[in-house]
Amino acid sequence: MKSRRHKKSAEIMYKNLNINKKRLFFFLAMSLGYFCGTSQDIHNSQFWLYPINLNPAAAGFFDGNLRFGAYNRTQWRSITPQHYQTVGISADMPLVKRPWKQDIVGFGIAMNYDQTGDSRYATSDGNLMLSYARALNSRSNNFLMGGISVGCVQRSWDYTRLSFDEQYVDGFYDPKSPISETFTGSNIWYFDCGAGLQWFYQPDFLTFYQAGFSIYHLNRPEISMLSDKTVRLNVKFAAHVISSIAIGDKKAIIPAFYMAFQNQHKEILFGATYLHQLPLDARGFLNNLNVGLFYRWNDAIYVCAGMDFRRCRFSVSYDFNVSHLIPASRVRGGVELGVSYVFKKKTYIKRQQTPCAVFD
């Protein structure tokens, strides 16, 4: 009799809660990932579009005086109304650019905001980057760069939006039922720091090679919401390789690879973009169009497309989920939008041209 009452109670609870199967599956999968390990960092599909987020050594290394960037990533709209969203903005510039010494001192700032799940668990961070680049040859087309980043991070959540076991009374959920759980706070702040190295070589206009290695959370900050000092953010190691291979006067294939490891978590992405240059426009700019296909290991296949119009860059990508979440996601993943703009002062002093043009 007792087992029958329990069974009937469970059936009533399920019926009254009207739980959507795909949301239940998603919740269980995401909960397992959360409790099996510590926090993961914010990640992007179009990692090559956000150079100073990719590696602090890239700050200030570009042809221009000031570079702005912004992105927006939205994920899991098909699964939960509290979809995951990440936005970020960045700016960087060369503080010192000395052609006669063939070196550059760069500075950058990046801010990101990420919100996930029903508890609106949010991560906000702001980082400052300082970099130094030095040419390895007399043509100024082969550079080695190093950089550091320092910043502050806030993590917050709203536990009043969550439900607890003791709020289920006789098989029914009562949101007004009191809970005995206690929380020491709803947000934490911590200091963070990282460093990186990057190499860049451009033998001709459409051909370049780039490789970088970076380390984040070197200070292993405390991140517990329950004031547990033993819970610390793990060090993250990341590496990337990007190359452009000319296949004609105005065409190139750009393969890219990225991997990151943080404790037991790992992320591996690889793919390629096809770039097609358009004829010179009325103002003398070489605009281009690009389209690419990439794969995030055990997670998603995604396509991307974009264009460079004068000094603006626009790009969009869409993830098709191919992981074990397919029953919940129905292959739908996330969309990511990115835009950047490079401001460059006009100069009337004609210097010796170099393939990478960072000193023009």
Q: Per-residue pLDDT tens for 18-57?
A: 434 444 344 433 333 333 334 467 889 999 999 999 999 9
Q: Identify which has the larger pLDDT, 209 or 77.
A: 209
Q: Flag whether pLDDT at 309 surpasses 80.
A: yes
Instruction: Indicate the range of 168-182, 259-273, 333-347 predicted with least confidence.
Output: 168-182
316-344 pLDDT, tens digit per residue, is: 999 998 888 777 677 777 899 999 999 99
Range with lowest mean pLDDT among 32-41, 66-75, 76-85: 32-41
pLDDT of residue 360: 64
Residues contacting 33, CB < 8 A, separation 6+: none
Instruction: Note the pLDDT of residue 61.
Output: 96
pLDDT value, residue 92 = 97
Confidence of residue 77 (pLDDT cuts 50, 70, 90): low
- Least Cα distance to 171 among 13, 5, 19 occurs for 13
Residue 346: the pLDDT is: 73
Name the token pair of 332.
Answer: 């739908």
Q: CA nearest 304: which of 321, 292, 296? A: 292
Yes or no: say if 54 and 41 are a contact pair by the CB < 8 Å rule: no
299 near 326, Cβ under 8 Å? no
The rounded distance, in Å, linking the Cα atoms of 55 and 195 is 8
Whose CA is closest to 342, among 315, 313, 314? 313
**Cα four-point dihedral sign 55, 60, 63, 64:** positive
* Secondary structure class of 57 (helix, strand, coil): helix
Secondary structure (3-state) at 113: strand
**Lowest mean pLDDT: which of 9-13, 155-159, 160-164, 198-202?**
9-13
How much is the mean pLDDT over the chain? 83
* pLDDT(82) > 80: no
Query: Binning pLDDT at 50, 70 and 90, where does residue 171 land?
Result: confident
Q: Which carries the bigger pLDDT value, residue 47 or residue 346?
A: 47
What's the pLDDT band for 78 if we cut at 50, 70, 90?
low
Rounded to whole angstroms, the Cα distance separating 336 from 289 reads 18
DSSP state of 58: G
Exposed e or buried b for every residue in 163-195, given b needs 16+ CB within 10 A?
A: eeeeeeeebeeeeeeeeeeeeeeeebebebbbb
Residue type, position 32, single letter: L
Classify residue 228 by burial, with Cβ atoms within 10 Å: 0-12, 13-18, 19+.
Answer: exposed
The CATH number of 2-153+190-343 is: 2.40.160.40
Sign of the Cα torsion 112, 84, 326, 302 reads negative
Nearest Cα to Cα of residue 66 among 311, 332, 350, 351: 311
Task: Say how far apart CA 255 and CA 37 lie, in whole Å.
Answer: 31
